[in-house]
Amino acid sequence: MTDDRGDLVLVTGAGGFIGGHLIGELRRLGHRRLRAVDVKPAEQWYQTFSDVDNRTLDLRDRDACRQAAHGAREIYNLACDMGGMGFIETHKAECMISVLINTHMLMAARDAKAERYFYASSACVYAAGKQTRPDVAPLVEEDAYPAMPEDGYGWEKLFSERMCRHFREDFGLETRMARYHNVYGPHGTYEGGREKAPAAICRKVIAAQLTGDKEIEVWGDGEQTRSFMFIDDCLYGTRTLMHSEVREPINIGSDELVTINQLIDIVEDIAGVRVKRRYKLDAPKGVRGRCSDNTLIKQKLGWAPSVRLRDGLEKTYRWIHDEMVMPTDRRRQYA
C-alpha cells in the first residue's frame, strides 16, 4: 500500500493525548487532508490545528461514525472513554460502552470503503494471572488467552480486537491492532483523575516543590512494576504498523521495567528535590507487574520502542512544570 498524502486520513479521539500528537505528526509528514474527530468541544482538545477538518461528534452513535468516515482512505481509531488506573477501576461500565465506538466505526469504515483501519488496543487485554508478581515475565501476544483481562476496560479492548479481525476476514477491511503499554509525554492529562502514573508523579513532585510541602501520596506500596512508552515511540510504531502487513495484534510498548518507586526516584532527580512518600495501600493500583515483550515487533517491523524513560520523563516533567506555573488565564483548561 502506498502512503498517498493527498488522500483523506481520519483520526478519531483526536482531542485526546495520543490523537492530538498523531494529527500533529501526520501534518509534519506532509499529509494534506486530515480529519480530526472527538466528542469534546474543540476548545477542550489537547492540541488543535486550524488547517485540519476538526469535528465534534459522539462516535457512540452510528450516524456520527458515518459522517466521520465519509471519504476516508485510512482511519486511526483512538477514540474511547479511558484514563489511568484510578479511572478504569471505578468506571467499568463507561469503559465498556466504548465498544459502541469501535463497532460503529468498523461498520462506517466498511461502508466508506476505507482501505486501512487502525485500532488502539491496550496491554490491559492481558490475562491477570500472568501479572501477579513485580518481577513479571514480559508479556507476549499469546498471553491474552485464555482470556481474563482487566475488568471493564480490558474486556472491551479484547472484544474489539476480535471485531477488527472478523471485519478483515468477512469484509476485506485491512485492520491493524496495537496493544499500547502506558503511553506518556507532554500535551496530555496530568490532573483531574484520568492521568497515568508518569504524569501524576510529575505533578505531585512539582506541587511539592511549589508549596514547600515535601510529601506526596503514592498509590499502593510503590513496588508494583510497569514499563512506560514515550509518545514519540508510540507515533512511529503506530504509523509503521498501519502500513505493514502485520494483521495480528502486536505490542507497542517499552521493555524498560521499573517500580513506581523507581519512577519517583527519576522524577526527583529531574526536579532536584527529595520528597517523603505516603503510601495509600487501599488506592487503585492494578496488576502487580506488567512489561512488554518486544520479540514479535522486532521480528515483524525490525524496530521496537527505544526512548529511555529518563529522557522521556525529563521532557514530560518540563512541560507539566510550565503548565503548572503558568498564570491561570493562560493555561489550557482540561475537561
> pLDDT for 38-80, tens place per residue?
999 999 999 999 999 999 999 999 999 999 999 999 999 999 9
d(Cα 275, Cα 210) in Å, to the nearest integer?
Answer: 12
pLDDT tens track for 128-151: 999 999 999 999 999 999 999 999
CA angle 94, 158, 185 (to 5 degrees): 70
Q: Per-residue confidence at 309, pLDDT binned at 50, 70, 90?
A: very high
Q: Half-sphere exposure of 116 toward its Cβ, with a 13 Å CA cutoff?
A: 24
Average pLDDT, whole number, for the chain?
93
Of 101-105, 208-212, 247-251, the one with minimum mean pLDDT is 208-212
Catalytic positions, written as ranges: 153
b/e per residue 240-279 (b: at least 16 CB within 10 A)? bbbeeebeebbbbbbbbbbbbbebbebbbebbeeebeeee
Give burial (CB, 10 Å; 0-12/13-18/19+) of 173. buried
Residue carrying C-alpha cell 515487533: 297
Per-residue pLDDT reduced to its tens digit, 220-279: 999 999 999 999 999 999 999 999 999 999 999 999 999 999 999 999 999 999 999 999
> Residue 74 has what DSSP assignment?
E
By CB neighbour count within 10 A (0-12 exposed, 13-18 middle, 19+ buried), where does 57 fall? middle
Alpha carbon distance 266, 90 (integer Å): 29
Question: pTM value?
Answer: 0.93
Q: Which residue type sits at 121?
A: S
Task: Give the integer Cα–Cα distance in Å for 52 and 80.
Answer: 21
| CA dist 321 → 193, 208, 214 (Å) | 18, 12, 16
CA separation for the pair 101, 40 (Å, rounded): 15
